[in-house]
Amino acid sequence: MSEATIFRLRIKGAVQGVGFRDWAIREAAMRGLAGWVRNRSDGSVELMMAGADDKVQDMLRACTAGPPLAQVTDIDIRNETEPPPAGFVRKPTL
């Protein structure tokens, strides 16, 4: 995936048990993004996404709210250099 913007997010707040991972998979698919999402044992959700900069930025804005039942309080954002495999998948909890 050349010329891709790649971010890894750590999303904190009331983000587990509210459908965040399924929501993220749908939202990423609508934007044509590659990556993955998983719950973390500390209660956060981790998400890696790669794609066209405008689509990644749009997904980032969407993640600030998340699905209807989520209450996002903070997002840590890191740039990544290694692109994920094609598609957007759910990974096991870490």
Single out the catalytic residue among 39, 78, 79, 90.
39
- Beta-carbon contacts of residue 2 (< 8 Å; ≥ 6 apart): none
Single out the catalytic residue among 8, 10, 21, 61.
21
Contact between 1 and 26 (Cβ < 8 Å): no
- Beta-carbon contacts of residue 62 (< 8 Å; ≥ 6 apart): 27
Contact between 10 and 76 (Cβ < 8 Å): yes
* Active site annotation includes 21: yes
Other CB atoms within 10 A of residue 4 CB: 17
Give me the active site residues, please.
21, 39
